[in-house]
Amino acid sequence: MRKAIFFSTSLALLLAGTVVHAAESSTAPALPTADISVEASRAAPNDQFRAQVYYETSEASPAELARKVNSVIAQALQTARSYPAVKVRTGNNMTYPVYGKNVRNIEAWRMRSTLNLEANDAPALSELLGKLQQSMVIGGLNAAPSAETWKKIEDQAIVDALTAFEARAKLVATSLSKKWKIKHVSVNTGGIQQKPIMPLARSAGLMAAEAVAAPIEAGDSTVSVSVNGQIELLE
C-alpha cells in the first residue's frame, strides 16, 4: 500500500546560562531541546457508499400531488427491499406553492421527497440506483472508507509517523553529537472525508427503456497522521 512521509524539523537549542545570586542556591542548567514535526499518510480504500435519490413534481391539487409522490416513493421502497445489502431510509419531504404572475395567486403545488441509501456493496447499490433512476433522480453519491477500514489504516499511519519521528530525532541528536530522550510528543489524526462521485447522466428515453446500473468508481482516500514533539539533547 502506498505511503508517504513528510518531515519538517525546527531546532530550538535552549542554552541556559548560570546566574549566581548570593541569596539563592545554584540550580542545574536546562537541557537544550529540539522541536520535531513529521507527517505520514496512507491510502485507504473507499468501501462505504452513500447516495440520495429524490422524486419531484408539481400538481394543481395538493391531494393529487401527495398521492403521486407517495406512489413513486412506495414503489422505490419496494424495489429497494430486494437489495438487503443496501440500507434505505426516508429523507426530507418538502412541499411549497408555485405562484403565478400575481404573487398572491397559487397556481400549483410542488413536492420533493428523498430517500437515503447506504451500502458497503458497490455492485448492489449500483444496480439499485440504476432501477431507481427510471423514476427518480440521483441527488448525491459519495464514497469513503468505513469506520473499520479507516481505523485500520490510521493505526498503520500512526506507526509510520512515530517511526519517522524516532528516526528524525536520532538524526538530529547524532548530528549534534548528543544522546536524546523524548520530552513530550502528540499524535494528531484527521476525520473521514467523503468523496463525491459523479454518476453518469442518462436520457429520459434510455431510463424508460431499461434500468442501467449507475457506475461507481470507489477509489481511495488519504489518511494522514502528524506527530509533533520535543526531545531533550543529553551529554
Inform me whether the pLDDT recorded for 15 exceeds 60: no
Mean pLDDT of 190-212: 53
N-term to C-term CA, the chain? 40
CA pair distance 114, 137, nearest whole angstrom: 9
pLDDT in tens, 94-130: 999 999 877 778 999 999 999 999 999 999 999 999 9
**Least confident stretch, 8-17, 131-140, 182-191:** 8-17
CA-angle at 144, arms to 139 and 150, nearest 5°: 160
pLDDT in tens, 55-95: 999 999 999 999 999 999 999 999 999 999 999 999 999 99
CA-angle at 180, arms to 176 and 182, nearest 5°: 135
Most confident range, picked from 153-157, 188-192, 200-204 = 153-157
CA pair distance 34, 71, nearest whole angstrom: 68
Contact status, residue 144 vs residue 46, Cβ threshold 8 Å = yes
pTM score, two decimals?
0.71
The widest CA-to-CA distance across the chain, in whole angstroms, is: 97
The per-residue pLDDT for 211 is 61
Average pLDDT, the chain: 84
Helix ranges, the chain (H): 62-80, 122-132, 147-175, 204-209
Inform me whether the pLDDT recorded for 50 exceeds 60: yes
